[in-house]
Amino acid sequence: MEKKFMTEQEKIENLLNVIQNLHRTMRKDENFELAAGFKQQYLDPEPYKLTVEELKELRNNDFRKEFLKDYQKWGIWFEESHIKERFYRCQMPNGDMLIISEEHQYGRKKPIFGVSTTLYLDTRDHTTFSSCRISDFGAVEYLKELKKLY
């Protein structure tokens, strides 16, 4: 059986399906009302590209964690305005994509009380976007192993 790799368009469509499912599960409240339409915005079609030199500068886990914390410098790849979710992506030297989802958390009384992030590692061998999910520790370990290749 031949493994089917997702195209860039299929990945975006899969991501949109995940976001639309979030729309269906979210409750309406006075601070957050879902619109009837689905609006998305692609802000930066080109990913930030991590160079081999930058990868070599990630000498230990502290540097790798700091690199992951500075994900906003990668530029916004995709933004879904209704649920205030932004996606940032960074292309690794081997072509893999590290994607970070940033979601604003809402409360009933306060408009925004926090931001949560979710990491994804697209190694081009996943069939769905949600199967690319990775932990912070997994991302740090991935960067460590990737550095050994260069």
Per residue in 44-74, pLDDT tens?
568 899 999 999 999 999 999 999 999 999 9
Give the model's pLDDT for residue 25: 45
* SS3 state of residue 145: helix
Task: Give the Cα separation of 43 and 77 in Å (integer).
Answer: 5
116/111: higher pLDDT: 116
Distance of CA 37 to the CA centre of its chain: 23
103/136: higher pLDDT: 136
**Cβ within 8 Å of residue 119, ≥6 positions away:** 68, 98, 99, 100, 101, 133, 134, 135, 136, 138, 139
Give the model's pLDDT for residue 2: 58
Give the model's pLDDT for residue 40: 45
Would you say residue 10 has pLDDT above 80? no
Q: Model confidence at 12, in pLDDT bands (50, 70, 90)?
A: confident
> What share of the chain in percent tops pLDDT 70?
69
Report the range out of 8-17, 85-94, 113-122 with the highest average pLDDT: 85-94
What b/e readout covers 67-97, taking b as 16+ CB neighbours within 10 angstroms?
Answer: bbeebeebeebbbbebebbbbbbbbbbeebb
Would you say residue 29 has pLDDT above 50? no
Would you say residue 36 has pLDDT above 80? no
Phi, psi dihedral angles at 111 (to 5 degrees): -60, -50
What would the mean pLDDT of 79-108 be, rounded to a whole number? 85
**Which tokens hold the place of 92?**
């690794």
